[in-house]
């Protein structure tokens, strides 16, 4: 394009999103830094992964993120510059990645945010639940420029640095070759020209605070912050200055930590000591001092990754903010389990397993064959993949979020070697086992909490008990049902409450109804009247579950809407009832005969029943036949 500026109009969704971001998420300004650092981290990870197959893109130069705040000379404004040495973007990528909405989650956000109104009051939780991405820049900036250059590759042998530039109130953005040339070498530099109400972010202490709050865990690469401090040093020409310090106030020309050694604070201290010694020895007049500005790149995330630390020293807040940043889920996790282990053939690992605080609608809409996306496999602290392919968790467990860091896997894993790796083959089993242990621990130690867990994971337990034969009993034990007698019963509790002689677990299933409605059913009447508890099943999964497991602790399930229903106390009054029924059958023979001929196309038989108390008649399914409920489901799935 030869230096020409190309103007593009935003996709209409982007324009909408920007408007919402700018207008209604005002009180959440500070998240911009979390989003931009997370993008920089993604870009670095992409570069490293690309380098596994395309060696030329990375020769081992430092991979890092730098943040620098620059105040305008007049003190009236300033800018924040966030730079990474990652994968960078071509001009086409700048256009599509920053000018269109690639993320599906963002559209959800749009719908919800607009639904809640744009007064800025209703969106407090939304901002937490969604990553807003690049557009959060406009929370603090009225102009944003993104300079970027991808690495040299076979496809792009001569990349050229380009700039994306956009103002908060423009409906368009511009892409043009960077007049400064290819100064980045590789990567992306984002410059935020701060709005007048966002100037607090120019203070390095503020930036430090935000990185610690939102991002200290989200980057596996070093994040450096440019800081300047004034230092008093003796005004002697021969005093050696620390190698990292320059006495210039021109922040724009400071080397990045990639060019120089990172800060060594003790070097500064060494100078101070020297000075003291000398003054004691000779007792000359105190040396003349002068102020110099010392520039430093301070690493903000120097702590080792959380999963490598001792869980005793990690607070709940730390576990939560790690979860938020690392999995980009800004809701509170329900529980977690931090463990280490050994695969048995030499691979030792550390892991943290999280139960998310919600199972989304989206999860249920995904096909049964879909595999987990949130098992983040690291090797020696380096992210490798979250796609375990055939070794991913099955649907019922695929919502779990886990970071696993293995010691001894080959770092240079290709998909093929991954698939044949023994550790990975075992990983699925290890995770499911630990997950069930975590549920069991809560179940046994904290009934109050388990109630919350069951509220969120109830359907998961049912799906798991259907899908996972090995863990069926454990998962089915966690399930809860409403009954004719109480709001919540486990299958074990049901059996404890069994009447003497009762040989079946009674249930009535009708999906989409309320338990109260089922309780009114004629099928339930007689059992209830006799003091039997009946499970009232309203979820489609319930009936599938019972059909699959068939019995609990050797007591078979009995659908009370099916023939073959036996009460446990029948033996005592069986004789009476038999006599009574015989008498009735004789008495009503003309009616039965008439009904049989009249309804012969609709029913197989008409009999006198002892199952009804108040209702005059009922239509029941044959033993072994489908209930109305299952027939409905089958009809629906055939449609």
- Short-list 37, 40, 20, CA closest to 87: 40
For ligand ADP, give the closer residue by CB, 94 or 535. Answer: 94
The entry of Mg ion, ligand ADP, none that residue 318 binds, CB within 5 to 8 Å by partner kind = none
The entry of ligand ADP, Mg ion, none that residue 91 binds, CB within 5 to 8 Å by partner kind = none
Min dist CB 360 to ligand ADP, Å, is 16
The entry of Mg ion, ligand ADP, none that residue 47 binds, CB within 5 to 8 Å by partner kind = none
Is 103 labelled as part of a ligand binding site?
yes
Min dist CB 83 to Mg ion, Å, is 16
- CA separation for the pair 119, 1 (Å, rounded): 42
User: Which positions from 254 to 293 touch ligand ADP by CB under 6 A, shown as an x/- string?
Assistant: ----------------------------------------
133 touches Mg ion (CB under 5 A): yes
Is 458 labelled as part of a ligand binding site?
no
57 touches ligand ADP (CB under 6 A): no
**Residue of 43, 375, 466, 508 that binds ligand ADP (CB under 6 A):** 43
Is 35 labelled as part of a ligand binding site?
yes
- Helix H or strand E encompassing 165: strand 162-167
- Short-list 268, 194, 197, 198, CA closest to 231: 268
329 touches ligand ADP (CB under 6 A): no
How many C-alpha atoms does 622 have within 13 Å on its Cβ side? 7
Q: How many CB atoms lie within 10 A of CB 19?
A: 15
Distance of CA 131 to the CA centre of its chain: 11
- DSSP 8-state symbol, 237: T
Min dist CB 496 to ligand ADP, Å, is 50
386 touches ligand ADP (CB under 6 A): no
The entry of ligand ADP, Mg ion, none that residue 588 binds, CB within 5 to 8 Å by partner kind = none
- CA separation for the pair 339, 342 (Å, rounded): 10
Closest residue (Cβ) to Mg ion? 133
The entry of Mg ion, ligand ADP, none that residue 40 binds, CB within 5 to 8 Å by partner kind = ligand ADP
87 touches ligand ADP (CB under 6 A): yes
Q: Which residues contact 597 (CB under 8 A, 6 or more apart)?
A: none
Residues 126, 128, 130, 135: is their CA dihedral positive or negative?
positive
Q: Are 526 and 568 in contact (CB under 8 A)?
A: no
The entry of ligand ADP, Mg ion, none that residue 86 binds, CB within 5 to 8 Å by partner kind = ligand ADP
For ligand ADP, give the closer residue by CB, 47 or 430. Answer: 47
Q: Are 348 and 407 in contact (CB under 8 A)?
A: yes
39 touches Mg ion (CB under 5 A): yes
Secondary structure (DSSP) of 531-552: T---EEE-SHHHHHHHHHH-EE
How many C-alpha atoms does 598 have within 13 Å on its Cβ side? 7
For ligand ADP, give the closer residue by CB, 81 or 466. Answer: 81
Q: Calculate the alpha carbon distances from 394 to 22, 285, 367, 466, 612 in Å.
A: 41, 78, 11, 12, 44
Q: Are 175 and 5 in contact (CB under 8 A)?
A: yes
Cα torsion for 251, 252, 256, 259, to the nearest 10°? -110
333 touches ligand ADP (CB under 6 A): no
Q: Are 143 and 193 in contact (CB under 8 A)?
A: yes
Judged by CB under 5 A, which stretch of 15-23, 79-87, 128-136, 461-469 contacts Mg ion?
A: 128-136
Q: Are 519 and 548 in contact (CB under 8 A)?
A: no
For Mg ion, give the closer residue by CB, 327 or 478. Answer: 327
Q: How many CB atoms lie within 10 A of CB 93?
A: 15
Is 421 labelled as part of a ligand binding site?
no
Q: Are 354 and 402 in contact (CB under 8 A)?
A: yes
**Residue of 86, 151, 242, 540 that binds ligand ADP (CB under 6 A):** 86
339 touches ligand ADP (CB under 6 A): no
Q: Which two tokens stand for residue 138?
A: 């406009």
Closest residue (Cβ) to ligand ADP? 133
**Residue of 28, 32, 34, 39 that binds ligand ADP (CB under 6 A):** 39
Q: Which two tokens stand for residue 490?
A: 């486990």
User: Which positions from 127 to 156 touch ligand ADP by CB under 6 A, shown as an x/- string?
Assistant: ----x-xx----------------------
Min dist CB 324 to ligand ADP, Å, is 15
The entry of ligand ADP, Mg ion, none that residue 84 binds, CB within 5 to 8 Å by partner kind = ligand ADP
Residues 491, 496, 497, 498: is their CA dihedral positive or negative?
positive
- CA separation for the pair 189, 70 (Å, rounded): 14
Q: Are 500 and 552 in contact (CB under 8 A)?
A: no
- Report the chain's C-alpha Rg in angstroms: 34
For ligand ADP, give the closer residue by CB, 97 or 358. Answer: 97
User: Which positions from 544 to 573 touch ligand ADP by CB under 6 A, shown as an x/- string?
Assistant: ------------------------------
Secondary structure (DSSP) of 83-98: EE-SS---HHHHHHHH
The entry of ligand ADP, Mg ion, none that residue 262 binds, CB within 5 to 8 Å by partner kind = none
Report the chain's terminal Cα–Cα distance, integer Å: 54
Min dist CB 267 to Mg ion, Å, is 37
Q: Which two tokens stand for residue 610?
A: 């002892």
For ligand ADP, give the closer residue by CB, 30 or 295. Answer: 30
Residue found by looking up tokens 């197959």 in the block? 53
Min dist CB 328 to Mg ion, Å, is 8
Min dist CB 190 to Mg ion, Å, is 12
For ligand ADP, give the closer residue by CB, 164 or 297. Answer: 164
- CA separation for the pair 488, 482 (Å, rounded): 5
The entry of Mg ion, ligand ADP, none that residue 126 binds, CB within 5 to 8 Å by partner kind = none
The entry of Mg ion, ligand ADP, none that residue 407 binds, CB within 5 to 8 Å by partner kind = none
Distance of CA 307 to the CA centre of its chain: 17
For ligand ADP, give the closer residue by CB, 95 or 548. Answer: 95
Min dist CB 87 to ligand ADP, Å, is 5
Annotated binding site for ATP: 35, 39, 84, 89, 97, 103-105, 188, 415
Annotated binding site: 35, 39, 84, 89, 97, 103-105, 188, 415
Residues near Mg ion (CB under 5 A) are: 39, 133
Residues near ligand ADP (CB under 6 A) are: 35, 39-40, 42-43, 84, 86-89, 97-98, 103, 131, 133-134, 188
């Amino acid at each position: 394009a030869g230096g020409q500026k190309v103007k593009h109009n935003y996709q209409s969704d982007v324009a909408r999103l920007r408007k919402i971001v700018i207008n209604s998420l005002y009180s959440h300004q500070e998240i911009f830094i979390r989003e931009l650092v997370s993008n920089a981290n993604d870009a670095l990870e992409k570069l490293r992964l690309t380098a596994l197959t395309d060696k030329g893109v990375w020769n081992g130069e430092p991979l890092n993120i730098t943040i620098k705040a620059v105040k305008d000379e007049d003190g009236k404004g300033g800018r924040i510059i966030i730079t990474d040495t990652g994968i960078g973007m071509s001009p086409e990528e700048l256009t599509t990645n920053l000018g269109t909405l690639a993320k599906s989650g963002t559209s959800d956000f749009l719908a919800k945010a607009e639904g809640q109104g744009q007064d800025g009051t209703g969106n407090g939780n939304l901002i937490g639940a969604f990553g807003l991405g690049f557009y959060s820049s406009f929370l603090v900036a009225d102009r944003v420029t993104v300079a970027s250059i991808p690495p040299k590759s076979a496809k792009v042998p001569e990349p050229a640095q380009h700039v994306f530039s956009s103002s908060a109130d423009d409906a368009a953005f511009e892409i043009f070759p960077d007049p400064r040339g290819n100064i980045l070498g590789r990567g992306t530099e984002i410059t935020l020209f701060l709005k007048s109400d966002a100037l607090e972010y120019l203070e390095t202490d503020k930036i430090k605070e935000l990185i610690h709050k939102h991002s200290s865990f989200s980057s596996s690469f070093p994040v450096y912050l440019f800081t300047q401090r004034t230092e008093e040093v003796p005004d002697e020409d021969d005093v050696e200055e620390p190698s990292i310090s320059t006495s210039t106030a021109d922040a724009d020309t400071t080397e990045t930590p990639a060019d120089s050694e990172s800060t060594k604070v003790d070097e500064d201290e060494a100078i101070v000591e020297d000075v003291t010694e000398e003054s004691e020895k000779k007792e000359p007049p105190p040396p003349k001092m002068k102020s110099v500005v010392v520039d430093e790149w301070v690493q903000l995330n120097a702590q080792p990754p959380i999963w490598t630390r001792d869980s005793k020293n990690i607070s709940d807040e730390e576990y939560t903010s790690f979860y938020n940043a690392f999995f980009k889920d800004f809701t509170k996790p329900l529980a977690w389990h931090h463990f280490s282990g050994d695969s048995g053939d030499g691979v030792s690992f550390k892991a943290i397993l999280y139960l998310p605080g919600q199972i989304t609608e989206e999860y249920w809409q995904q096909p049964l064959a879909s595999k987990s996306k949130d098992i983040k496999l690291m090797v020696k602290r380096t992210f490798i993949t979250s796609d375990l392919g055939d070794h991913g968790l099955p649907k019922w467990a695929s919502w779990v979020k886990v970071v696993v860091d293995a010691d001894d896997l080959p770092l240079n894993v290709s998909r093929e070697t991954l698939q044949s790796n023994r550790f990975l083959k075992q990983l699925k089993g290890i995770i499911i086992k630990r997950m069930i242990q975590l549920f069991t621990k809560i179940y046994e130690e904290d009934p109050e909490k388990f109630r919350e867990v069951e509220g969120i994971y109830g359907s998961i337990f049912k799906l798991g008990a259907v899908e996972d034969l090995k863990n069926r009993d454990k998962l089915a034990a966690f399930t809860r049902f409403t009954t004719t007698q109480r709001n919540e019963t486990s299958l074990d509790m049901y059996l404890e409450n069994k009447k003497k002689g009762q040989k079946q677990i009674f249930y009535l299933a009708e999906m989409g109804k309320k338990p109260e409605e089922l309780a009114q059913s004629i099928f339930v009447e007689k059992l209830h009247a006799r003091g039997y508890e009946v499970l009232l099943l309203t979820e489609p999964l319930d009936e599938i579950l019972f059909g699959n497991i068939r019995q609990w602790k050797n007591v078979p399930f009995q659908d009370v809407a099916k023939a073959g229903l036996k009460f446990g106390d029948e033996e005592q009054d069986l004789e009476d009832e038999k006599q009574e029924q015989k008498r009735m059958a004789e008495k009503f023979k003309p009616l039965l005969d008439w009904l049989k001929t009249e309804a012969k196309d609709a029913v197989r038989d008409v009999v006198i029943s002892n199952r009804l108390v108040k209702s005059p008649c009922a239509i029941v399914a044959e033993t072994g036949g489908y209930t109305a409920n299952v027939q409905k489901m089958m009809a629906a799935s055939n449609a």
